[in-house]
Each structure stands twice: as C-alpha cells, then as structure tokens.
Amino acid sequence: MPESYDLLIIGGGVSGFSAAMYAGRLKMKMLVIAAVRGGTIITTNDIANWPGIKQTDGTTLAKNIEEHALEYGSVKALDDKVVEAEKAGEGFRLKTEGGKEFEGRTLLFATGTEWRKLKVEGEEKYSGNGVHYCALCDGYAYKDKVVGVVGGSDSAAKEAVLLTQWAKKVYIIYRREEIHPEPVNMTRVKNKIEEDKIEVISNANVTEIKGGERSMTHAVLDREYNGSKELELDGLFVEIGHIPNSELAKGIGVETDEKGYIIINRASETNVEGAYAAGDVSNTGFKQAITGASEGVHAAYSAYEYLKGKEVRPA
Amino acid sequence: MPESYDLLIIGGGVSGFSAAMYAGRLKMKMLVIAAVRGGTIITTNDIANWPGIKQTDGTTLAKNIEEHALEYGSVKALDDKVVEAEKAGEGFRLKTEGGKEFEGRTLLFATGTEWRKLKVEGEEKYSGNGVHYCALCDGYAYKDKVVGVVGGSDSAAKEAVLLTQWAKKVYIIYRREEIHPEPVNMTRVKNKIEEDKIEVISNANVTEIKGGERSMTHAVLDREYNGSKELELDGLFVEIGHIPNSELAKGIGVETDEKGYIIINRASETNVEGAYAAGDVSNTGFKQAITGASEGVHAAYSAYEYLKGKEVRPA
C-alpha cells in the first residue's frame, strides 16, 4: 500500500512551502515532493518586494519558508520528481522518478514554470557553454566579457542589470521597439546605458547561435547592427518567458487556459474536486512571490475545509 | 485645488502598505491616509504564520511593511480619517476629519473592520472599565484576576490563551456547543483547560453586564452555570467578530456582499472602475495577513495597468 496523506504538494517553491506551513498549522498530514527545493525564486539574488522583508535573496527567502513549514510535526518533504499522477478513488495517486508511490486525499500543484527556449540552431549545442537561462546562476563566469540578454520583460531587464556586475558589456536583444520592465528597473537600465554598460538592440531576433568546439562566439540576428548581422558574444542569456509545468495536472482533467496555466478561483480551487494550484503555474494575472504564497495559503485552507466537509458526509 | 494623486489608499494596515510598497516600485504618486497606522494586526502579539518570518508580532510586522513602502520616493502617508468619498470626473475625491481634500485617479479601500459589539445593557457603560475588545491591548491589567472571553472562533481562542498569561482564570463563553479554533490553537486551549486556567461555558449568551460605579463585576448569562446565571468577572473580552468598514465604498457605488464586505475579483478590482479593495474589508473566504497583503499587491498593479490604459486612450 502506498503511503497516504491528507495533502500532497508537488513543488517545493515559495507557494508550495507557504501552503505546507499553513497545512501544518491546520495539522494536516502532508508531504511536499520537490524536484528542486526553493523553486524559481532561488535564481534571484535581489528581492526587495516581499512585504515585511526590505531586502533579501531568493535562496534565503525560500529556505526560511521551507524551514518554517517543516517546524510543524505533520509536514514532511521529499526530494524527488513526480512522473505520474492519477485519480484514485476520491483522492489521487502519485509516482515518482525514485520509484515511490503516494496517495493523497487532496493534491496541490505548485509546480511552477520552466524557461522558454529560443528554439534556434546552436541553442542546445552551446547550452551551458555560452547559452544560459539564469544570470544569477551562471553570470559570474562572464567577468569582463561581453554578453547578450534576449528579452524585453522586467525579468530580462533585471538579468541585464545583474550581469553588468560581471560583464563589461551587456546587449539587450529584443524583438520589439521598446523593452518594458517595471519603472524602477527601467531606471536602472537607463543608468547602465548612460554608463555604457548596457546597449539595447531593438526590433531584432536571434536566429542562430554560432561558435567553436567548446563555446559560442556569435549570435546571428535577423537585422544588421553596427554593420553586421553577427554579434560577437561570449555568452547569451535567454529571458523570453516561461512554460507552465501543468502536464501532470492536465492528465487528471484539470483545466488550463490557452497558454497552459492552471485555472484557479480565489480559493485556489481547480475544476477537479480536491485538486488545487498555486503560484507560477496558475493563471494569475500579476505573478509575484507574495501572490503565489497567498495562493498556497488559500489552497491549504481550501483542502482543509474540503476534508472537513467529507468527514461529516454520510458514508 | 485639492492635491492630486495617481492612487489614494484609505487604510494603513498590512494590506494598505503592501499596496503602497508595490505602487512605489511602480513609481505611482500616491498617498496612504491612515486613521490608525498598522491596522488590526497591531492587536496581535504572536504572528507565526507570515511566510518568511517564523515569529514576530503585529506591530513589528506592520511597521516593517510601512517603512518598506515609505522608502519609495513617490509614497506618502498621512494620519487622518477619511470622512467623505465621492466620484469626481474619472477619479475620486476624499475629505478628511482634519479638513483636507485629495483627488485620486484611482482609489483603494484597505479600510479593514471594526470589532462587533454585544449590544447588551452595560456594555457601553463599562467599555474600557472591564469590557474590552483586544486582549493584547488591555489584558495586562488583569493580572491574577478572573476574566471572560465571549466567542468561539480562532481569534477568541487565541485571546483566551493569551489572557492566561495574566489572568488566573479565563472563561470562554460561547453561544454554541463547541468552540472552533484552528487545530493548533484548539490544542493550546485544551492544555490550558487541563491546567485549570481556561473553562468553556458553552451554549451560553451574555445578556447584560453588571457592576458598580467604576467597573463591571458580573456578566449575566442566559443559562445557569455552577448554579447561577450571574458570573463574577473582573473583565470581559468580546471577540465575536468584525464589521467591515465599507460605508465610504458603498457611497460611491461599490458593491458589497450581504454582510457588507466589498466584492473583489482576483485582481482586487471592485465593480467601480478605478476603485479597488484589499484585506479584511474584502469578501475573501480565508482572511489572513498574507492574503490581504497579496490583495494589496494585486490592487496596486491593477491600478497601474488601469492608468496605463487610460494614457493610450484617445482624449
């Protein structure tokens, strides 16, 4: 018989462990299954928008929330990857890469997102050798080098500013006319442009990544810049968005929007009874760490109320 | 001409200042008008459910968020009470008790709730002299005394446990059969019952509060307990819930539910364009500090997006 829980949480980021902390307070027997402890936020070194904490970094914040949750006796966590999810009776059954099986009376998808790829020639070949998806993780290797950032979002701008700590020059390559970070980050980019550390190449797409045996040397653009379509770069950071990790959820009938984000209501309920979602994988309009944490808290409480309701129903 | 802002926030609690912090990051010119800095949370000394902070108290948490928000140059706060709100053109106009007037292109109600009163004889007379609504605020005065707590909710249970720090005996008086705190707090109450510090009087209502010139001496119940309907008490803490501060909102056409809580969607929008609500005054199912903060963050972003949309519209 697989181990049985009141609540299974897939995902060990801010949303998953915030849910776990509340579920712990509600004395639910529960397990967090995490492929990566901490989730996406650990790729961020500068967090200045978590109410109550003026300045921290992603790893510290995630670690704090995780430790907070694990203080409750009924909360456990496992480092493993869920590879299969199915309905089982009134609950759910999960199988992991590590060959374990678990049953949950309720299930929370706090599965987050993955980096979106460029899908151009050379991207896979030089992945990890010039091509990267996280400046904080890999930027330190580009001290006094020239790098590119693909994307025009707030995340892309933050990555570019971060990279100026190491790189002597950062090109932001964006397919549209104007990058569109949060105003505070736009100001930071502008300051770096004035310092000649950042240059924006707008209306341009990367169509290929070229290089030698070991590492990339050029990004090929679809328009000329300074007289050439080939931009000499030591590294290229791809920041063009995310893909929701919602395949497992879809498999048990959970509805998503057209982009694959799980549709939830204000109580973090999905269309499937006993199944919840929180954080980056959900269809929330404005996705922040704090909003994901709040969705996790709602999910824990909804699961608790759902189970309470079950108990008073006649058999 | 009244001073004009991108965003006016009524209410200086966790939700209001979380919104202000994000609005500051978004470089919106804004003003928080707060009758009480900190809001309801400052009446709580034990906060163990704010993700990222294992243990704090309400005053510290509220202060941190307020200071965080005020670090942004475009955020201001004013200690005053809004007494009038009206629509003015495409925005809103507010008047304060202090005689000031402000105009806002958008408006956030983070107005919270007030304590619900028993509405029995003697309540008003002994208010502040035996009758209280906040154990943390007033409980220290009852060292080695006997007090009552009216209510069966999680808040009531927490207040009762807190009061055992000072009082030699705490009676929980509840109108129904079973009190219903969060499981962790139920365990705490049970421990205190075993220690003879707490006693639960169930199926009982307080119908009158009696006493002398200066302070209360008895609560009158609607049933006998230990042979009498008159329970000798030095103090009585009323914890029977809250009333939403939504009158100003209703006045400008904002819809509320049947209990008066402002109806919002996942983006913290109300039915009135440019008007938002967040925190305890909203119709959220599971109200926590963290969920209110998240609603504040959504409200700030929604207001920002709304104003951005306005700017590109033809005149």
Residue in chain B nearest A303 by alpha carbon: B286
State how far the Cα of B139 lies from the Cα of B148, in Å rounded to an integer: 11
Q: Is the CB of residue A248 less than 8 Å from the CB of residue A240?
A: no
Kindly state whether residue B176 falls inside one of the protein's structural domains. yes
Q: How far is A18 from chain B (nearest CA, A)?
A: 6
Whole-complex ipTM: 0.83
Tokens of A177: 């006319």
Tokens of A34: 């995490």
> Domain check: are A49 and A66 in the same one?
yes
> Domain check: are B199 and B263 in the same one?
no
State chain B's mean pLDDT as an integer: 94
> Using the beta-carbon criterion (under 8 Å), do A26 and B183 form an inter-chain contact?
yes
Q: How far is B99 from chain A (nearest CA, A)?
A: 32
Q: Is the CB of residue A84 less than 8 Å from the CB of residue A37?
A: no
Q: How far is B280 from chain A (nearest CA, A)?
A: 14
pLDDT, residue B311, reads: 60
State chain A's mean pLDDT as an integer: 94
pLDDT, residue B312, reads: 45
Q: Which residues contact B287 (CB under 8 A, 6 or more apart)?
A: B279, B280
> Domain check: are B15 and B107 in the same one?
yes
Residues in chain B closer than 8 A to A20 (CB atoms): none
Q: A132: closest CA among A154, A140, B33, B43?
A: A140
Chain B interface, best mutation among A68, A71, A264, by max B CB count within 10 A: A68
Q: A110: closest CA among A39, A254, A11?
A: A11
> Domain check: are B232 and B255 in the same one?
no
Sign of the CA dihedral running B69, B75, B79, B83: negative
Q: How far is A225 from chain B (nearest CA, A)?
A: 31
Q: What is the pLDDT of residues B242-297, one digit of tens each?
A: 999 999 999 999 999 999 999 999 999 999 999 999 999 999 999 999 999 999 99
Residues in chain B closer than 8 A to A306 (CB atoms): none
Q: Is the CB of residue A43 less than 8 Å from the CB of residue B29?
A: no
Give how many domains chain A has, as a whole number. Answer: 2
Q: Which residues pair with B85 in a beta bridge?
A: B94
> Domain check: are B56 and B99 in the same one?
yes
Q: What pairing do the DSSP bridges indicate for beta strands B82-88 and B91-96?
A: antiparallel
CATH for A146? 3.50.50.60
Residues in chain A closer than 8 A to B16 (CB atoms): none
State how far the Cα of A66 lies from the Cα of A76, in Å rounded to an integer: 10
Chain A interface, best mutation among B55, B68, B178, by max A CB count within 10 A: B68
Q: What pairing do the DSSP bridges indicate for beta strands B198-201 and A30-34?
A: unpaired
Kindly state whether residue B122 falls inside one of the protein's structural domains. no
> Domain check: are A247 and A231 in the same one?
no
> Domain check: are A147 and A200 in the same one?
yes
Does the pLDDT of residue B42 top 90, yes or no? no
φ, ψ (nearest 5 deg) of residue A210? -110, 160
> Domain check: are A150 and A196 in the same one?
yes
Q: What is the mean pLDDT of residues A227-253?
A: 97
Kindly state whether residue A271 falls inside one of the protein's structural domains. yes
pLDDT, residue B315, reads: 31
Q: What is the pLDDT of residues B300-314, one digit of tens each?
A: 999 998 997 776 443
Residues in chain B closer than 8 A to A14 (CB atoms): 51
Q: Label residue B140 by pLDDT band (50, 70, 90).
A: confident
Question: By residue range, what is the domain housing residue A284?
Answer: 3-115+242-309
CB pairs under 8 A between A and B: 116
Sign of the CA dihedral running B300, B301, B302, B304: positive
Q: What is the mean pLDDT of residues A44-57?
A: 87
> Using the beta-carbon criterion (under 8 Å), do A52 and B71 form an inter-chain contact?
no
Kindly state whether residue A315 falls inside one of the protein's structural domains. no
pLDDT, residue A42, reads: 85
State how far the Cα of B237 lies from the Cα of B226, in Å rounded to an integer: 21
Residues in chain A closer than 8 A to B21 (CB atoms): 49, 51
Q: Is the CB of residue A208 less than 8 Å from the CB of residue A86?
A: no
State how far the Cα of B166 lies from the Cα of B147, in Å rounded to an integer: 10
pLDDT, residue B137, reads: 77
Last residue of a domain, one of A207, A238, A269: A238
Q: Which residues contact B228 (CB under 8 A, 6 or more apart)?
A: none
Q: How far is B97 from chain A (nearest CA, A)?
A: 29
Q: Which residues contact A295 (CB under 8 A, 6 or more apart)?
A: A15, A264, A268, A277, A278, A279, A282, A284, B294
